[in-house]
Amino acid sequence: MPTIGYWIKNLDDDQFLAPQEVAGKLAPDIAKRVVAYLCAGKLYAQYRGLSWCRFMHGCAKAFMGSSELTDGYWIWPEGLVHYVEVHRVALPEEFLADALNKLVTRNKTIELDSDIAFWVNWCSQNQDPVFRKQLLAARQTPPQEVQDALIAEINALQLKYGLSEQLCLCDGCRERALQSQVVCVKHFLGDERWERGWRSGFHSLLYDF
């Protein structure tokens, strides 16, 4: 039974996609039908940890669930319904055919590829080159002197301006703006400058992509 719907776990995970790489690819009417299908799954396994939405937009953790569901053939994490409903992620054609009740002759190799191998293979074929490039860049740690220079510059800027009570005006940024400036210290320095001087964390990579 093939398992689908697992996403990247950390910066060094090459096995799974970030859902950002395949977001917005299901038509809304199709997504709606797939959501109904996913919700009708039967409990397959219950786990302890709760999953979190990789889009970092503050989805309640509990909402993402901690169990796996099945239709008797496919297995998926409970949280997959959120990715389809809210982020309309693409899913393997073979699964969609079942979910949308299309009659297809199932590719025999899927049955042999039990468990996660089918999904891992699908992930490898659906990577977004721009995201992959950013992932590789995020893994690079710049030399210590580059980081030190950036920290010195940040400190100097914060000392010069101070932090205001306002949030940074850049899209989606949650940092406080510098006093008398409209942006945070990161955006004051410029994204590119920041990324080069800093190994961008996993969460900021997902947040920004």
Contact window for Zn ion (CB under 5 A) among 88-96, 101-109, 123-131, 185-193: 185-193
Q: What is the CA radius of gyration of the chain?
A: 21
Residue 203 exposure: Cα atoms within 13 Å on the Cβ side: 7
User: Can you tell me the distance from the alpha carbon of 91 to that of 18, in angstroms, rounded to the nearest whole number?
Assistant: 13
**Binding-site size, Zn ion (CB under 5 A):** 10
User: Is 168 among the residues that bind Zn ion (CB under 5 A)?
Assistant: yes
Stretch that binds Zn ion, among 6-14, 37-45, 96-104, 178-186 (CB under 5 A): 178-186
Stretch of residues binding Zn ion (CB under 5 A), selected from 14-22, 118-126, 177-185, 196-204: 177-185
Task: Name the 3-class secondary structure at 134.
Answer: helix
The answer to the question of residue 208 lying near Zn ion (CB under 5 A) is no
Instruction: Choose one: 16-24, 47-55, 107-115, 120-128; the region binding Zn ion (CB under 5 A).
Output: 47-55
Q: Which of residues 80 and 135 has its CB atom nearest to Zn ion in the complex? A: 80
Among 85, 113, 175, 208, binds Zn ion (CB under 5 A): 175
Per CB under 5 A, does 184 bind Zn ion? yes
Cα-Cα-Cα-Cα dihedral of 161, 166, 168, 169, to 10°?
A: -120
CA distance linking residue 41 with residue 36, whole number of Å = 9
For Zn ion, give the closer residue by CB, 23 or 110.
23
Alpha helix (H) residue ranges in the chain: 28-39, 61-64, 80-87, 93-99, 108-112, 117-125, 129-139, 144-161, 185-189, 191-197, 202-208
Residues that bind Zn ion (CB under 5 A): 53, 55, 59, 86, 168, 170, 173, 175, 184, 187
